[in-house]
């Protein structure tokens, strides 16, 4: 009976940690120790050919780790906030300039330049506070709040009339965008189901994929919306979608426990044995 229980326990471990190649020769960098989403210690490694070739393993990222296996609802929501932020920039930066150049209120090239400067200045000044805030509260919560404020201000951009009011709204929009975008990478790393060198690399790759998707879709979506409905309605529509997305994200985050991990465990690398039996 004890032998049967031991076999069942080993089968459960193999199902929980499929990345671990038991009985293969391992180089020091093949196996890593990380922390799970609930703080438990997880050993994972590269799928090699039995000779310890971790970097030659057959995974999606060349290191035996399937990056799409890292996608969880939390990670997807953080990546979606990245996409929404990129789309907001895609509307405000190129499309707003075209809209203002055709505005009856005589926006010349200098005024349009100052308008875009307000966005950039707000974003730059918001980077440090965004880092400071996400060090004290959940990074994904900062993303959600930033997306919410960005959406509200994007709706306002579509209704502003005066130049100075537009400058102020765009400056606030830049600040909100920094809160929405700066913490997304950290939020995606924390939302991955395991931590460690391979999982962190996978989260970075997923972050780049979400960001690239947003940057590709943003100008096309902005152009189609502006051509179909005009800039005012396009900005209000995208702003409303951003607000709705942020509310969904906040409701979901309120329903799950905060992620707490031992950061020292997340960076510990197993370097012990030439062979694991």
Q: What is the rounded average pLDDT of the residues 163-186?
A: 92
Q: What is the rounded average pLDDT of the residues 3-15?
A: 71
Say which CATH topology domain 72-255 has.
Growth Hormone; Chain: A; (1.20.1250)
Written as six digits, the tokens of 53 are: 């070739």
Q: Which of 31-35, 170-174, 185-189, 222-226 has the lowest mean pLDDT?
A: 31-35
Nearest Cα to 86, choosing from 230, 229, 221? 221
pLDDT for 32 equals 47
Q: What distance in Å separates the CA atoms of residue 231 and residue 100, rounded to the nearest whole number?
A: 10
Which residue in this structure is represented by tokens 């330049």? 113
Written as six digits, the tokens of 263 are: 């950061």
pLDDT in tens, 118-165: 999 999 999 888 877 776 677 888 899 999 999 999 999 878 878 899
Nearest Cα to 40, choosing from 196, 227, 235? 196
Q: What distance in Å separates the CA atoms of residue 265 and residue 95, rounded to the nearest whole number?
A: 46
Q: Which of 10-14, 108-112, 210-214, 226-230 has the lowest mean pLDDT?
A: 10-14
Q: Is 90 exceeded by the pLDDT of residue 260?
A: no
Q: Is 50 exceeded by the pLDDT of residue 22?
A: no
Rounded (10°) angle between helices 163-181 and 139-157: 160
Delimit the domains of the chain by residue range. 72-255
pLDDT in tens, 223-257: 888 888 888 888 888 899 999 999 999 998 888 77
Q: Is 60 exceeded by the pLDDT of residue 33?
A: no
pLDDT for 225 equals 81
User: Partners of 31 in the beta sheet?
Assistant: 45
pLDDT for 241 equals 92
């Amino acid at each position: 009976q004890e032998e049967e229980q031991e076999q069942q326990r080993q089968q459960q471990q193999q199902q929980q940690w499929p990345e671990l190649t038991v009985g293969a020769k391992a180089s020091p960098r093949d196996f890593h120790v990380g922390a799970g989403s609930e703080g438990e210690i997880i050993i994972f490694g590269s799928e090699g050919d039995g000779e310890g070739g971790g970097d030659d393993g057959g995974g999606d990222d060349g290191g035996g780790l399937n990056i799409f296996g890292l996608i969880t609802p939390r990670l997807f929501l953080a990546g979606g906030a990245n996409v929404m932020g990129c789309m907001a920039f895609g509307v405000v930066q190129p499309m707003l300039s075209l809209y203002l150049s055709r505005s009856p209120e005589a926006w010349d090239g200098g005024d349009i330049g100052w308008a875009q400067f307000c966005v950039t200045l707000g974003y730059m000044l918001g980077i440090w506070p965004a880092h400071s805030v996400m060090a004290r509260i959940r990074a994904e919560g900062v993303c959600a709040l930033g997306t919410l404020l960005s959406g509200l201000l994007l709706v306002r951009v579509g209704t502003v009339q005066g130049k100075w009011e537009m400058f102020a709204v765009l400056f606030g929009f830049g600040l909100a965008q920094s809160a929405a975008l700066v913490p997304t990478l950290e939020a995606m790393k924390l939302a991955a189901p395991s931590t460690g060198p391979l999982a962190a690399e996978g989260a970075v790759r997923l972050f780049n994929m979400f960001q690239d998707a947003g940057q590709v879709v943003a100008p096309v979506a902005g152009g189609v919306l502006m051509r179909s409905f005009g800039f005012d309605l396009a900005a209000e529509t995208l702003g409303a979608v951003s607000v709705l997305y942020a509310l969904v994200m906040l409701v979901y985050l309120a329903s799950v426990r905060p992620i707490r991990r031992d950061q020292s465990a997340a960076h510990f690398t197993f370097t012990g044995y030439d062979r694991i039996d």
